Every structure is written in C-alpha cells, then in structure tokens.
Structure 1
Amino acid sequence: MAIVIRYVNKNGEIIERFLALVHVKETSSKCLKMAIDFVFSKLGLSLSRLKGQGYEGASNMMVCKANRHVSDFFNYLSPNVTVCGSSCKRADILRQNEYDRMVEMIEKGEISSGKGLNQETSLHRPGDTRWGSHYITIVRLTSMWPSIVKVLETIFEDGVDPEISGKSKGLLQKMENFDFVFLMMLMKRLLGMTDALSCALQYKDQNILNAINLIVTVKEDLQAFRESGWDDFLQEVEAFCQANEIDVPIMDGIVPRRIRMKNDGKTITNYHYYRVEIFVVDLISQEMRNRFSESSTDLLECMVCLDPRNHFSNFNVDKLVHLATLYPEDFSSMELSLLTQELRSFVSDARTDTRFSNVEDLGTLSQKMVEMMKDKIFKLVYRLIKLVLLLPVATTSVERVFSAMKFVKSELRNKIGDDWLNDSLMVYSEKEVFATILNEMILSHFQKMGTRRSQLSRIA
C-alpha cells in the first residue's frame, strides 16, 4: 500500500508527498488501518489531524474487466501491440503499410491532405495503471486496422519463428470476428466518453469545478447512449465490418451452441446476446453512480462554492456552512455560528479588493490570503479553504508511485526487500526534494552511520 499525504504549508501552498510503501497481508479495512497507524506512529504524525475523501477516479477499466466478454477482448489487445511492434522489422512493415494505404486513400479522394493531417502514427501500448491509455490503443487499432491485418498476415506467412507465427494466426482469427469488432467499437465509444474526465482526474492540481461538471456530463452521456444510442452504434459496427470484409451475424438468428454453453445452455438470439450481455453501458453507469454518489457530489458542489473565478460568482454561504457541518471536529458549534457572518464579510472584502481579481483557482486563493495576511483576519474561512484543498478529487499521486515501482523493482532487482524498495521509491518519487540536498551532507550522514576504513569523498 502506497501512502501519500496532502497538506497546506505555511505559505498556503498545497503539497503532496510520498510517505511510505507498506507491505500488507490483505486489503481489508482493518489491515489497511493498522498499516496507516504504524506509519503515522513511526513518523510522529497525528491521526487526529488526518482527513480523507477518496473517489478513485471512476476506474472504468476495472468495471469493464468485470464482464468476461470485455475481459477477453482486453486480453487480446496488448498481444496485438506486442506482435506488431515488438521488433524494428515489424514496426517498419506496419509503418510502410500505413503510409501506402494513406497515399492510396488520398489518390482516391477518400481523405484530404494538408498541413497537420495524416501524421505518421504507431500502435500505443496500454498501461496497467492508466485506463485512459487503452483508449488511445483502441483508437489507433481502429484507424490502422487494414495495415495491422496485413502485418499479421505477413508474419504468419513468413513462418521464421513458429511461436510468433502461431500468435499472429490466433490474433487474425480473433480480430476477424464480429464479437471482437463489436467490443472494440463499444470500448472506443465508452472510453471516449470518459476520456476527458480521466485526464482531468489525473492532474496533480484538479479543478473541482471542472471535475464536477465533467462528472455530470459523463453520467448524462452514458444515459443517453444507453437509451437511444444502440441503433446508430450497431450501424457503425456493421459498416466497419463490411468495409473490412468481416461477417455480420443476423441479429434475429440464434447464437451458436458454443456460446449457449457459456450461458447455461439457454437459447437466445444474437440481438439479446449483443444488446444485453455485451453492451456493458449499465455496468459503467452503475459504477459512476457508486463512485460519485449523491453525497459525494453534494460535497463537491459545496466545495465549488469557494471557487474565486469571476469575482466569486459561485459563492454560496449556506452551502459552505453546510460543508463545515460535515466536519464537526474542525468546526465547533460556536465557530459554525460565527462562520456565516465571516463568510459574508470575506466575500464582500474579496470582491472589492483588486488583488483578488486575477485569482483563478483555490490554490492561488490560499497563497494570496497568506501573502496578504487575510488568513489571520478570516481564520475560519481560511480553515475551510484548507480543508477543501486537502480533499483531492482523485488518487493520482498514489497511482504514480505504483507506476514508478516497475522502474525500481525490475527483473534484475526482483528480490529487493521492503525497506530497500521503500527507500528507493522515496528517492525516485521525491526527486525535487532530494535535489535540494547537498552531496556533502549525504556523505557526512553516511560517514557518521558507522566506522569506515577511509574517509568518504565526493567524486567529481
């Protein structure tokens, strides 16, 4: 478990720091709580001042893989990228095929040419912790489909490496199947809807107003796609299949016996199979509602009321007081009664003070208040601002630690111990902090750790 703390320093700046990587026996709440207690106790930090509100960034990849059909699709996605682009020779063949196809399409007038159009591209390898990267892979797979099929055919016919040749044949058989195309186009559509939200939740400094607007937009788009998008989507899939000579099943026909065996032997039509069992829009919509429930969205909407843009146009005293009531340990009953008037005084002062006119986000507002010493005048308002800054919309920093782990714990260092891994990740993740430490200080520290045969010296 990676532990990252987020705090506001004395200058009003929001800071995130990687604390530790802790080995846990299981991911139960009790076990995770014990691990956090241990780290905080070891570092002398107070649990009473700990605040948390996690949203996990609406992990659609986890939801998609909960469906066995979709999981099977993604199992074939990465091998496709590996087989076609793992060697320079195959990558060159793919690039040349795509170039020749583009030239042919331009000559036929199917696409237009011009500055910035038809740029050279390649397959993108999807990442394990970035579900947005799968969207890029699927988009490129869709646009480069004929060239990829041609490369797989070339690899199979070449037959130099039997193992690679066999993989290419299996991928060809899988790709030239309506199920694969249906799932590819479906994932392209769904991940495309959530891509903007995905990108927004991966920023270190999330704008809460943008996040809440995107959450609402994604929910509405998913609902509209579920209710009225099926017919257009099916036509799009069929058009792709016809353009690439892939057989399209009759929707009123009965699904093959091998598929019925996987569905408890029930006799179902192709329409039911694709519309109900593979069309996973309901699954993702439900996950969005779970991740961003009404209570969570209500909290975000209250936080938006502190947005300083357009002379605090979103400022709402009642909602901000309601936000403070959600944290009784931070605001006593007496302070809550004083907060209403202090909020009114603060917004009146901020709207007339020209020094706040260029403030566009909450982080800058916090720093500005410290700089102008208004954090001393409006203590309760500043405390509320700090509380909002401490509640991130996503857990991107934690995900970055896990992404960095593959660089530290490589195949050559796969037996690295927990302490060494934690220390290495600390240095890797907090490069900016360690860059400020002089080499002489490090040498002096190690020299004092134990008796050494010779004096450590800096190598030029």
Structure 2
Amino acid sequence: MDKFLIKLPKPKDGQPSSSSNQPFVSSQVAPEVQRHTNSFPLSNMDSMLDFKSLEADPKDRMPISSYSPNIRDAVRRYYIQKKPCQPVDHIFPKTKFVDKMRQFRPTWFKRRSQWLEYSIKADAAFCLCCYLFKNELESRGNAGDSFTRDGFRCWNKALERFKKHVARFLLTSGFPFRGHDESEGSKYKGAFLELLKWYGDRSFDVGRVILGNAPQNDMMICPTIQKDIVEACAKETTKAIIEDLDGDYFGILVDESKDVSHKEQMALILRYVNKSGMVIERFLGIVHVNDTSSQSLKKAIYSLLLDHSLCTSKIRGQGYDGASNMQGEINGLKSLILQDTSSAYSIHCFAHQLQLALVGLSKKNSDVDNFFYVLTNILNTIGASFKRRDSLRQHQEDKLEELLKFGEVHTGQGLNQERGLQRPGDTRWGSHFKTLDNFLILFSSIVNVLKDMKRDCPYHLDRFTAENLLSKIHEFEFVFMLHLMFKVLLLTNELNKVLQKKDQDIVNAMGLLDLSKKRLQMMREDEWDSMMDEVSLFCGKHEISIPKMNEDYSNGKSKRKRSNISYLHHFRVEVFYAVIDLALQELNNRFDVVTSDLLLGMASLSPVDSFANFHKDRIMKLAEYYPSEFGDKELRELNFQLDDFIVYAQKCDSKFLNLKGIKDLAKVMIETKLDQTWSLVYLLVKLTLIIHVATASVERAFSSMKYIKNDLRNRMDEDLLNGCLVC
C-alpha cells in the first residue's frame, strides 16, 4: 500500500506542517499515482469526493469497484491514511462453537496491524488490503469473499485462517515465496533477509550497501533480485558438487511425486565417495516430468546429468522406491538403466520386498485374493462401529473367563492380553501376519459380534451384510485359507522382523532368507497331513462342516460339481501346493542371485569385529559383477591384494580395530594412504559404498517427504524451488 503515499520528512521546529484538513494534498501523492489519475486535477477529484460520507465500518463500505475509476485511488488513499478499523475497547460478543464460547480477540490486531479489521455491526473480521486491491488481484487469483464482502466469524479457527489468508494474498500479489513479517522490528524476517543480514555483518563491503545501509531504496530485497541470488547460489553450489565428484563413479537416488497443482516432479540426488573417503549424497536438481513412465523418467535423468556434464557410463548404483515403474524387471527404470550400464545395480528395501512378495502372491492367486477380500470386509464391518468394537471386547472377556474357569488357560504377568483387529496394509510390514494371528484367537468373538449384528441392527443392509459374512466365515474353504496363509506368513515372520531393524546384519538376513525358503519347501513336502488335522480340529471346535474329501468338488457359487476333481485334489493341489509354490517363486524373484551375491560380498568386506565376516570367495564374486573395472588381470591382482590386506588390517595396524562399517574402512584407508598400496581393494570398497542398499529406515524417509513438500513451497516457480533445494 505504500506506493500510494510518499513519506514526507518531519517538519523542523517553527515550520508549519504540510498537512491540511483534507486527508491528502497533491504533494503527498506518489508520481505514479498522479499519472494514473490524470483525467482530472487531483484537487478537483478531492473536492468532488465527500470523505465524510465514506463508511468506517467494513461491513457498510461500498466496494471499490462501485466508485468511478477516476476517484478510486483517492478513496484508497483515504482508507490507507485512516488505517484499518480496529476497535480495541469494544466489548466483543461471544458465540458458541462446538462446546465452547469464543469471541474476537483485540490482541490479534498486534501482528496484523496493517490489514486486519473488525466490524462492530457484523461481528466479523475483514481485510483492508483485499477491500482496496481485490479487483486488481482477481485476474491473478481469487482472494475470496470471507474477508471482504461477508466477513470472517469462525473464531475457533481464526489464527489458522489468518495465516492462510496472508499466504494467499501474497501469492496472488506476485510474492510466491514470501510469508514473513519483514519489518525492521520483526524477529522472524524469513530465511533470505536473515541470511543477507548475517552475511552483511561479516563482510564490510557487503554490509555497507544492503538493507538499512543501502543507498536510497536499493536494499537488494526485491523479488527479482532474490531469485537472481538464489539462482546464482544454486549454480555455484552445483559447480562445487561436480568438482568434488571429479569425474568419478557415482550412484543416483530418484524420487518422484506430485505437487499441489498435480504436476509431476522428479528429484535427483548423487551418491559418491569423495577424495577423503567419505560417502557424500548431494541434491542435484528437481525437474518437471510429463508423466511417471519409466521411459520419461529415464529421459529426464539423462538430460539432467548431461546438463551438468556427467557421463551415464559412470553410474554404479540406483536407489528408488518400490513402485512398478521403478523396479519392474522388464520395463522398469532400474532395468532400462541397467541395459545401458550393466554395473548400475539397485538393491531395494528387503522389508518392502518381502511385503511386495505377499502382495504379488495375493494378486496372482485368486483363492488368496478372495480370502483377503472377505477378511478385510469382516474387519471393516466390525471396526466401523464403536459399539461393535466394544461388543468384541466384551465377548473376548467372557470367553477368557470361561477358559479360566475350565482351566484351559493360565494367568500370569503378560498373559491373556486384550487383542484388537488390525487391518492388513500393502505397505505395512508384518501387518498381515498380526491380523491373521489375532483373527484365529478372536474367531469365536468375531462370530458372536456378527450374530449380534444380524439380530439387533436396525438397518436391513447391515443385517444382510452380517448374514453374508457369517456364511462366508463358516465355510471350510475360508478356514482352510486362514490356516494356510497364517502358516506361510509364520515361516517368514522372523525374517520380516530382522529386515525391519535399522542396523541389519546382511549375512544373518540372507541366512534367514534361505531358511524361510527351506521351511516352505519342507511344509510343501511333509506338512499337509498335520495342517489338515489342525483345520479339522478348528472346524470341530467352531461347528463348521467339513466336506468329504473323496467327493467331487463344487466351487460353492453355482453348486455345479467339477468332474474328476475331488475336494482333496482341489485343496491339496490347486490351493496348498499352488500357494506355497507361488510364495517360493515370489521370494526367488524378489531376492535374486545377483542381489544375494552383492549383499554377501559387501558383508564380507565389513570391518566390524576385526573383519569377522571376511570371506575371500564372496569378495571375488562381488568384483566379478564389475567387468569394466575388474578384468582377468585385475581379478588376479585383487586376489593377491586381499591376502596381504586382511593380514595387515587384522594384525598390523590398530587403526583398523573398532571400525563400525565400510564407511569407516574407506576413510581409514585414505588417512593411512593404503588406498594407493592396495588400490583395487579400495576401488571395490568405493564401488560397494556407491550401491544404495535401501533399508526400512530409508523407506520411512521416503514417507516423511510429505512434511517437506508442503502446499506453500510447491506453489513456487519450479526454478526458484530447485534453486532453494540445491542450496
């Protein structure tokens, strides 16, 4: 609003003030405003306008657009000088919101003194800036009517709405990255002004020409200059990153997500080992992509790398999330880059891989898919009502008292804990096993809740749903699948727990993976009879009919029997064998030989416990996966270097003791200059560090990006957002 006024110097003692009875005189009007209002002399305009007729209460004011274009600026100047309508001594009425009485607080005027107004007549808040300038802003964004025509009265959400309104006004007025009080007395001027002040305090040449010391109004804080500075800083930062990389090998970490305007953005991060032996991850840039297909992402990655003169043949590692466009074996981004650079390996999060194996199993087997569909419907039906959940707890307590009475369970600390029905989720590791475990224990209680619902629910649809679910849950096929899937998930549960730890023992994890595969194979070969005994016992306990296994099988829908297919053949061959075979196939596909060799080789290089996991054959196998770096000659030389290196590291140099990982090993080799003595060993260590081994903690970090990519930041221009992120 300051552009409508020129601040005149204070009159010296004895000199008359330049003010008059009129709100403004021509000497106070900014030249650019005089140019806009040259249809009439300003004095004539002021004489034509009766300022006393202008309403002070925001609710009663005429819209600015109702005035003649020739006098609108005069009206604006009047209200600017008059300042916002902010009655402090008024007794503000209270209004009930939910269960509390709330009212407008005059303390809200303090930090919003330039724009916030209050209407006594309407008991509502208004915005002076929107009233004065809304017509000019409507072409660039809607400022809304709640603070102009109607007024704002939701006092229970006042601070939140005030903040959003200021941000919206700044965005529509052409200041998309400002959202702070930048006045001289503010303690929170925003990152740019704080950084500028900090740098000015440390450099005399800079400090004497910026902010308060700037000549006239050249304070170096206008939006254009801020963007230019951010762009320059981003270029210098990127230049330093490329120089630090120095043409060496690197890995790429890629993530893509939508902003608030649903534009797809791809962020690219470089991972490399610098000359000091430290693993470095640096943000290279964020770019807009038309779609998230693997071909589009590959093109965007190669284009961004080429812009910074980085060669794609130097890529030695890839890191992505678990989306199919990233991890697909045929057309996934990982596979497309591997076709161009054969040593650009990607090792996805094992915990996520295990969960994806289960998801893949569900999608590829109709019996498993139908089972989880019915299971989810039961959980949703019971979990949708507090009354049904309370009923489930009550039935659980009654059942426990009955079991205690007959001595079937024992009491003790930590025993007989209350259980709930956790819904399974495709991205929640271990959730399916917990769900099935609780479902088996609460089976009778679940049946009782559905019976109560069928009998007592006032709505016909709810009663019909309960009856349908009761019929499903009492089918032998459902009970059989419940026990089968519980047993399959039980065999991989220990592996699942290990893979979710932050500090993973790769050797131990690979051992548990092999154990899970062997246990599944043993279950397939030897445990059919024992599982059928468990299912039959469960059915007898809960009064569920068991079909005669030698009779012809019917699918339960059309009641038509399939010729030559007995119930025994269906459940043993088409369900039991098929589900276990598919589970083994998914585990083998997700945890392939290349991944296993890479991880075991990396674990064998680990210096933890004085190289306790050192295994020369596994390390040599790891080196063979890098044919460009390790030909036949280099492999023979590496074989000799490993023999000397391990003896020296374990017995001759105390600096190699108590190292916590391969990162420490690389730094110690640089410090002792052993990277020159055993150059091939160090090269393999460096390549190992570049491979991004995603763990459960990394997956959680991907999920946490929502806290960074907030609405206000994503409204920025992409170049400015990129520059800020790089810096």
Bin for the TM-score computed over the shorter chain: 0.7 to 0.9
Indicate the residue corresponding to 2:497 in structure 1. 199
SS class of match (1:268):
strand
1:66 and 2:364 correspond: yes
Q: TM-score, normalised by structure 1?
A: 0.77
Structure 2 matches for 1:130-141, cutoff 5 A? 130=428, 132-141=430-439
**Cα deviation per residue 1:53-94 (whole Å; 9 max; x = unaligned)?**
335624222123311011001112222222222232222221
Higher relative contact order (CA 8 A, sep 6+): 1
Indicate the residue corresponding to 1:82 in structure 2. 380
Runs (5+) with no aligned partner, structure 1? 428-440, 446-460
* Larger Cα-atom Rg: 2
Q: For 1:175 and 1:375, how far apart are their aligned partners in 2?
A: 65
Q: For 1:43 and 1:151, how far apart are their aligned partners in 2?
A: 64
Q: Choose the corresponding residue for 2:586, options 287, 290, 296.
A: 287
- Structure 2 counterpart of 1:385, which letter? V
| Greater Cα shift, 154-163 or 105-114 | 154-163
Relative to 1, partners in 2 of residues 1:76 and 1:369: Cα closer, same or farther, differing over 3 Å?
farther
1:237 and 2:532 correspond: no
Structure 2 matches for 1:40-439, cutoff 5 A? 40=305, 47=312, 48-51=314-317, 52-54=345-347, 57-58=353-354, 59-130=357-428, 132-203=430-501, 205-256=503-554, 258=556, 265-279=562-576, 280-331=579-630, 335-352=634-651, 353-359=653-659, 361-363=661-663, 365-366=665-666, 378-391=678-691, 396=696, 400=700
Relative to 1, partners in 2 of residues 1:173 and 1:96: Cα closer, same or farther, differing over 3 Å?
same
Greater share of helix = 1
Q: For 2:277 and 2:558, how far apart are their aligned partners in 1?
A: 61
- Structure 1 counterpart of 2:644, which letter? S
User: Percent identity over the alignment?
Assistant: 36
Relative to 1, partners in 2 of residues 1:170 and 1:373: Cα closer, same or farther, differing over 3 Å?
farther
- Structure 2 counterpart of 1:241, which letter? C
- Structure 2 counterpart of 1:49, which letter? I
Native 8 Å contact 2:316 2:687 kept in 1: no
Native 8 Å contact 2:597 2:621 kept in 1: no
Relative to 1, partners in 2 of residues 1:253 and 1:198: Cα closer, same or farther, differing over 3 Å?
same
Relative to 1, partners in 2 of residues 1:79 and 1:327: Cα closer, same or farther, differing over 3 Å?
same
Relative to 1, partners in 2 of residues 1:5 and 1:212: Cα closer, same or farther, differing over 3 Å?
farther
| Greater Cα shift, 313-322 or 166-175 | 313-322
Runs (5+) with no aligned partner, structure 2? 1-253, 257-267, 318-344
Relative to 1, partners in 2 of residues 1:256 and 1:384: Cα closer, same or farther, differing over 3 Å?
same
Native 8 Å contact 2:597 2:622 kept in 1: no
**Cα deviation per residue 1:111-160 (whole Å; 9 max; x = unaligned)?**
11111111122111212223521111111111111111111222222213
Q: For 1:388 and 1:22, how far apart are their aligned partners in 2?
A: 31
Q: For 2:377 and 2:708, how far apart are their aligned partners in 1?
A: 24
SS class of match (2:565):
coil
Q: TM-score, normalised by structure 2?
A: 0.51
Indicate the residue corresponding to 1:431 in structure 2. none
Relative to 1, partners in 2 of residues 1:307 and 1:407: Cα closer, same or farther, differing over 3 Å?
closer
- Structure 1 counterpart of 2:315, which letter? R
1:218, distance to aligned residue in structure 2 (A): 1.0
1:320, distance to aligned residue in structure 2 (A): 1.7
**Cα deviation per residue 1:192-213 (whole Å; 9 max; x = unaligned)?**
1112223333445533212211
Relative to 1, partners in 2 of residues 1:21 and 1:241: Cα closer, same or farther, differing over 3 Å?
farther
Indicate the residue corresponding to 1:7 in structure 2. 271
Q: For 1:43 and 1:162, how far apart are their aligned partners in 2?
A: 66
Native 8 Å contact 1:253 1:270 kept in 2: yes
1:407, distance to aligned residue in structure 2 (A): 9.1
1:420, distance to aligned residue in structure 2 (A): 6.3
Q: For 1:44 and 1:128, how far apart are their aligned partners in 2?
A: 40
Q: For 1:160 and 1:15, how far apart are their aligned partners in 2?
A: 63
1:396, distance to aligned residue in structure 2 (A): 4.7
- Structure 2 counterpart of 1:189, which letter? K
SS class of match (2:564):
coil
Q: For 2:573 and 2:391, how far apart are their aligned partners in 1?
A: 40
Native 8 Å contact 2:273 2:686 kept in 1: no
Indicate the residue corresponding to 1:34 in structure 2. 299
Q: For 2:542 and 2:530, how far apart are their aligned partners in 1?
A: 19
SS class of match (1:7):
strand
Q: For 2:482 and 2:506, how far apart are their aligned partners in 1?
A: 32
Native 8 Å contact 1:135 1:191 kept in 2: yes
How many matched pairs?
421
Q: For 1:238 and 1:22, how far apart are their aligned partners in 2?
A: 58
Indicate the residue corresponding to 2:152 in structure 1. none
Native 8 Å contact 2:367 2:575 kept in 1: yes
| Greater Cα shift, 183-192 or 376-385 | 376-385
